[in-house]
Chains A and B, each alone.
Chain A
Amino acid sequence: MSFITGVGLTSYGKHEGFSSLDLMSKAAALAIADAGLKRSDIDGILCGYSTVAPHIMLATVFAEHFGIRPAYAHAVQVGGATGLAMTMLAHHLVEAGVARHVLVVGGENRLTGQSRDASIVALAQVGHPEYEVPLGPTIPAYYGLVASRYMHEYGVRQEDLAEFAVLMRAHAATHPGAQFREPITVADVMASKPVALPLKLLDCCPVSDGGAAFVVSRERAGGTGVRVRGCAQAHTHQHVTAAPRLSELGAEIAISKAKAASGVAISDVRYAAVYDSFTITLAMLLEDLGLARRGEAAAQVRSGYFGRDGEMPLNTHGGLLSYGHCGVGGAMAHLVETHLQMTERAGKRQVRDASIALLHGDGGVLSSHVSMFLERVR
C-alpha cells in the first residue's frame, strides 16, 4: 500500500532568476512540510529532467543541493508522463519496502532559462533524428498531425477542440498560481495565431517556469489519506511516424490494465486529471480513457460535465493549457490539484466529491502512457 502524504507546487509562469534546482527545491520543501516530515525522513528521491540544465545524474545533483543523502535515487525520463511514471515507481518502491518516504520532484526554468525558440527546438528532438527532424516539424506539428487524423475519423471540428482551451482557462481563473487567468472564448481560440494547423496558439500549452513535488509514503499521515489504488503503463512507439492506428494507442491499453490492477471502474471515478499539452491531447485522452464517448468529449464540455460543479470535474487548476507547463513539473500539478481536491483543501475550487480520482499522463507523441487511480481513505 502507498499514500501520497504531501504535495508542493509553485506558481507557474515567470520565475526570473530561479534555476531548475531552485524551483525543484522550493516545491520539495513545500511537499515535505505538507507531509509533516523533516527532510531527513526522506530516504528515496525520484526526479525528472531539465531541458535547460541537462545532467546525467540529476537526482543526486538535486539531493546534494537540497541536503539529503537518500538510500535510493535516480532520474526518470518519459516526457510528459514522467510525473506519473515516477509516482508509479515510488508506489512500488514503498510497497516493496525499498524506501519509506520517496520524494518525487520536478521543476524547470523553461521559460526564462532559455529562449522560446530554443525550447521549441529542444522539444522537437523527440522526433526521429534522420527521418523526421530534418523536415522541420515542431511538437505542435506532431500533435497537429494526430489532430488532423482524429478530426477526420471522428468528425471533430476545430471549434470542438477550442472548448477544451476555454474550459481550462475558466478553471485557471480561480487559481492564483496559474500562468493565464483571463477568460477566453471559442472565438478567441479560433482567431488565435496559427501554429501548426489545425492547432492554433490557444490550442497549445504555454512554456513556463515552475516546480512541483510530492511525497509517497508507506503509511498515511494525518487524517485524510490519499492512497494509490492501482496504476499501469503502456508504450506503443516513440515517433509519430511509427504510431499505431488511433484505435490502438497506449491510453486504452494503460487504462484497461490500471482498471484491472485497482478494481476501479470508470463509473466509480469522481475527479479526472488528464494530460492536456494540446486541446487535441485532452479530447483524445478523455475518449480513449472512457470518460467520454468517442467524438463526444467536446459536447460534454459544453454541457458542463467536466466543469468544477459538473459530474466529472477535470483539471480544476487549469491544466497545462492554462496553469502552465514547465516540463516534468507540468503534469505533476495535476496530481497536486487532485490531492488538494481529495483532501478538501482546494478552497474556492473545491469540488463536491473527489473520493476516487483518475489521473493520466502522456509522453512523446501519445507514445508513453501512465494511468493511475487514487482513492481517499478516512
Chain B
Amino acid sequence: MSNARADWTTGREAILYQFCAACGNVQYFRRGFCAACGGSDLVEKRATGEGRVYATSLVCRAATPETRAHVPYNIVLVETSEGFRMMAHGDNNLAIGDQVKARFTQFAGGLVPYFDKRR
C-alpha cells in the first residue's frame, strides 16, 4: 500500500477504490487495511465513474484566489454504482437522484472528477 495512488488525487484520470476480499466491504478513502473488518487482503479497483447524485451544494463564496476564480462551482456527493460515496464537482444543474457519469477537469491547479447528467 506504500505506492502512490494512481487516481485523480495524484493527477491521473481515474477513480479508484478498494474491495476487501475477506468481508466484501468497499472503501473509497485508501488505507492499508479494511476499515470494516481490519483485514489486509484488499484489491484495488477502478470505478466506472457511474453513479447517482446524493447531495449538492453550489459554492458561491470561496476563500482562496485559486478557487474564487471558479465560482460558482457545484460540490456534489455521488453514490457510485460500485457502492461507495465520493465528493466531486458536478454540473451546476444537477439534482439529487440524477444518474451521472464522471469526467475529469482542472480546478485550482489540480485534476478533479466532474459529474455530468447521463443522457
Stretch of A80-88, A128-136, A179-187 at the chain-chain interface = A128-136
Residue of B at shortest CB range from A130?
B9
Q: Cα distance A130–B9 when bound, in Å? A: 6
Contact of B89 among A120, A135, A142, A145 (CB under 8 A): A135
Check: A117 CB closer than 8 A to any chain B CB.
yes
Q: Cα distance A149–B97 when bound, in Å? A: 10
CB distance from A192 to the nearest CB of B (A): 11
Q: Cα distance A286–B100 when bound, in Å? A: 33
- A194 contacts B58, C-beta separation under 8 Å: yes
Q: How large is the interface on B (under 10, 10 to 19, 20 to 34, 35 or more residues)?
A: 20 to 34
- B88 contacts A135, C-beta separation under 8 Å: yes
> Which residues in A have their C-beta under 8 angstroms from that of B112?
134-135
Query: If A148-B96, A240-B77 touch, does A134 touch B64 (CB 8 Å cutoff)?
Result: no
- A124 contacts B63, C-beta separation under 8 Å: yes
Q: Cα distance A319–B76 when bound, in Å? A: 29
Check: B56 CB closer than 8 A to any chain A CB.
yes
Residue of A at shortest CB range from B92?
A197
CB distance from B96 to the nearest CB of A (A): 5
Check: A40 CB closer than 8 A to any chain B CB.
no
Residue of B at shortest CB range from A129?
B9
The B interface, classified by DSSP as helix, strand, loop or mixed, is strand
> Which residues in A have their C-beta under 8 angstroms from that of B29?
128, 130-131, 239, 241-242
Check: B87 CB closer than 8 A to any chain A CB.
yes
- B107 contacts A136, C-beta separation under 8 Å: yes
Check: A137 CB closer than 8 A to any chain B CB.
yes
Interface string of B84-119 (1 = CB under 8 A from A): 011111000000110000000001101010000000
Check: A146 CB closer than 8 A to any chain B CB.
yes
Check: B47 CB closer than 8 A to any chain A CB.
no
Residue of B at shortest CB range from A153?
B96
CB distance from B107 to the nearest CB of A (A): 7
- B60 contacts A196, C-beta separation under 8 Å: yes
The A interface, classified by DSSP as helix, strand, loop or mixed, is helix
| Chain B, 35-74, CB within 8 A of any chain A CB | 54-64, 67, 70, 72-73
| Chain B, 7-29, CB within 8 A of any chain A CB | 9, 28-29
Check: A147 CB closer than 8 A to any chain B CB.
yes
> Which residues in B have their C-beta under 8 angstroms from that of A199?
57
> Which residues in B have their C-beta under 8 angstroms from that of A117?
63-64
> Which residues in B have their C-beta under 8 angstroms from that of A134?
9, 107-108, 110, 112
Q: Cα distance A261–B97 when bound, in Å? A: 40
Contact of A148 among B9, B57, B73 (CB under 8 A): B57
Contact of B55 among A124, A148, A193 (CB under 8 A): A148
- The interface size of chain A toward B, counting residues with CB under 8 Å, comes to 34
Q: Cα distance A197–B97 when bound, in Å? A: 17
CB distance from A55 to the nearest CB of B (A): 24
- B75 contacts A131, C-beta separation under 8 Å: no
Check: A138 CB closer than 8 A to any chain B CB.
yes
Q: Cα distance A194–B86 when bound, in Å? A: 24
> Which residues in A have their C-beta under 8 angstroms from that of B75?
135-137, 141, 144-145, 196
Residue of A at shortest CB range from B89?
A135
CB distance from A137 to the nearest CB of B (A): 5
CB distance from A169 to the nearest CB of B (A): 20
Q: Cα distance A194–B64 when bound, in Å? A: 17
- A136 contacts B108, C-beta separation under 8 Å: yes
Contact of B60 among A130, A147, A193 (CB under 8 A): A193
Residue of B at shortest CB range from A150?
B55
Contact of B70 among A128, A136, A147 (CB under 8 A): A136
> Which residues in A have their C-beta under 8 angstroms from that of B73?
136
Q: Cα distance A53–B67 when bound, in Å? A: 25
> Which residues in A have their C-beta under 8 angstroms from that of B9?
130-131, 134
Contact of B86 among A145, A148, A152, A241 (CB under 8 A): A241
Check: A29 CB closer than 8 A to any chain B CB.
no
> Which residues in B have their C-beta under 8 angstroms from that of A136?
59, 62, 64, 67, 70, 73, 75, 107-108
- A241 contacts B60, C-beta separation under 8 Å: no
Q: Cα distance A85–B95 when bound, in Å? A: 37
- B55 contacts A121, C-beta separation under 8 Å: no
Query: If A136-B70, A149-B96 touch, does A194 touch B107 (CB 8 Å cutoff)?
Result: no
Interchain residue pairs with CB less than 8 A apart (14): A120-B63, A130-B5, A135-B89, A137-B57, A138-B59, A140-B57, A141-B59, A144-B75, A148-B57, A152-B55, A193-B60, A197-B58, A199-B57, A240-B87
- Which 5 pairs from chain A and chain B are nearest by CB? A144-B57, A120-B63, A136-B67, A194-B60, A145-B55
